[in-house]
């Protein structure tokens, strides 16, 4: 494994720190989608509303399509993905897309979830500590 897409919430400031730890293993960690900041989705909605567009029109607009294509390009080129919890519906869709493409997809919880979601069993593996995730990635690095 040469590269991993880190999936998560825009507001999760732990993602760049995880990316740094993964890159210490010699694995590229893609998290550049987070660079617009934690309120990027809020500003996109405000912008589209100012333009008089509804949700469907916004999703078919250039900004949304550009962001989607950017994310999909990197999901497609990376060898695997890790979903950093807590995360929302978009993150779960991205993980499902990755697994559906036949690539490994992992979930990293920051703590045991309050609500159990059986569909997390689609993941290649589930971790509750960064240390355990990094150990698993290290073993996959040369495969």
Residue 42 has pLDDT above 80, yes or no: yes
Q: What is the pLDDT of residue 143?
A: 67
> For residue 92, is it left (φ>0), alpha (ψ between -120 and 50) or beta?
alpha
Number of continuous H segments (helices) and E segments (strands) in the chain? 6, 5
**Structure pTM?**
0.94
CATH of domain 3-140: 3.40.50.450
Q: Where are the domains of the chain?
A: 3-140
**For strand 3-7 and strand 28-30, is the pairing parallel, antiparallel, or unpaired?**
parallel
Would you say 80 and 4 are in contact if contact means Cβ atoms under 8 Å apart? yes
Taking residues 113-123, report their average pLDDT. Answer: 95
Would you say 133 and 106 are in contact if contact means Cβ atoms under 8 Å apart? yes
Q: What is the pLDDT of residue 141?
A: 84
Q: What is the pLDDT of residue 142?
A: 78
């Amino acid at each position: 494994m040469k590269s991993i897409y880190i999936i998560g919430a825009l507001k999760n400031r732990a993602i760049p720190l995880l990316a740094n730890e993964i890159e210490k293993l010699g694995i590229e960690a893609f998290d550049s989608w987070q660079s617009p900041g934690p309120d990027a989705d809020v500003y996109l909605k405000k912008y589209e509303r100012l333009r008089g567009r509804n949700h469907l029109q916004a999703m078919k607009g250039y900004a949304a399509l550009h962001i989607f294509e950017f994310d999909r390009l990197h999901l497609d080129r990376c060898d695997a993905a890790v979903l950093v919890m807590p995360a929302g519906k978009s993150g779960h869709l991205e993980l499902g897309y990755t697994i559906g493409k036949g690539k490994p997809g992992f979930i990293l919880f920051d703590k045991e979830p309050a609500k159990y979601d059986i569909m997390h069993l689609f993941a290649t593996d589930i971790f509750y500590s960064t240390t355990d995730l990094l150990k698993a990635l290290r073993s996959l690095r040369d495969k």
